[in-house]
Every structure is written in C-alpha cells, then in structure tokens.
Amino acid sequence: AQSVTQPDIHITVSEGASLELRCNYSYGATPYLFWYVQSPGQGLQLLLKYFSGDTLVQGIKGFEAEFKRSQSSFNLRKPSVHWSDAAEYFCAVALNDMRFGAGTRLTVKP
C-alpha cells in the first residue's frame, strides 16, 4: 500500500545541536517529495521540495533534505537548531494527489 512514514512522533534536541527528521515512503514510482512545518495554531509552510536532479536540496530557515532512492527516504536535516524551530514537521509526497506523514513534533531545549 502507498504510504508515507515518519517514524519519530516526538524529538527533543538542545539548542545548537544538529537535527535529523526521518521520512520514508512506499510508492510504486518515485513521487515528488516535500517537507512542511507547522507552528502552533497555524497552517503549513513549505520548507523544501524535491522532484529531480541533485539529491540534496536546500530549503528555507537553514534546512536541507537528502533524497535516497535506494532507501526510499527523504530525511530533513539542520546543522544547528534554534529555539524558534520548535514546531511540527510533516513529510509529504505527491503522485496523484498530496499525502502527508503523521508528523514529528520537535521540542528545543535551551
């Protein structure tokens, strides 16, 4: 079955530490891939997207993601987390329509 999996429901990191949020997909073909962020009480904002070319994509707010076809993964990374990065992060895929993972809530410790 087609699916998008974010294995980590909640992650806590210290401010200044590095971050990696995992995303795996299960589709027959390589879908278009996205990462969105949602701050409390807000809608979703696009961080970055991948659909072809260089497998390392840069996004806003210092985020990047790497597409690995062999692992069906599209993990989000940031070298140094800021307190303002605390939010919920969603991986999404688009094939016929856009589907989202369950989300990873990020808490940043001072």
Partner 1 sequence: NAGVTQTPKFQVLKTGQSMTLQCAQDMNHEYMSWYRQDPGMGLRLIHYSVGAGITDQGEVPNGYNVSRSTTEDFPLRLLSAAPSQTSVYFCATRSQGLNTEAFFGQGTRLTVV
Asked if 25 is part of the footprint of partner 1 (rule: CB under 8 A), the reply reads no
Max CA distance (Å), the chain: 42
Task: Tell me: does residue 29 bind partner 1 (CB under 8 A).
Answer: no
Determine, following the binding rule CB under 8 A, whether residue 9 of this chain makes contact with partner 1: yes
The residue from 46, 58, 82, 107 that contacts partner 1 (CB under 8 A) is 46
- Indicate whether 28 belongs to the interface with partner 1 (CB under 8 A): no
Contact call for residue 86 and partner 1 (CB under 8 A): no
**Spatial distance between the Cα atoms of 37 and 49, rounded to a whole number of angstroms:** 12
Check binding of 94 to partner 1 (CB under 8 A): yes
DSSP string over 8-41:
-SEEEEETTS-EEE--EEE-SSPPEEEEEEE-TT
Nearer to partner 1, 32 or 83 (CB): 32
The residue ranges that bind partner 1 (CB under 8 A) are 6, 9, 31-32, 34, 36, 42-44, 46, 49, 51, 90, 92, 94-103
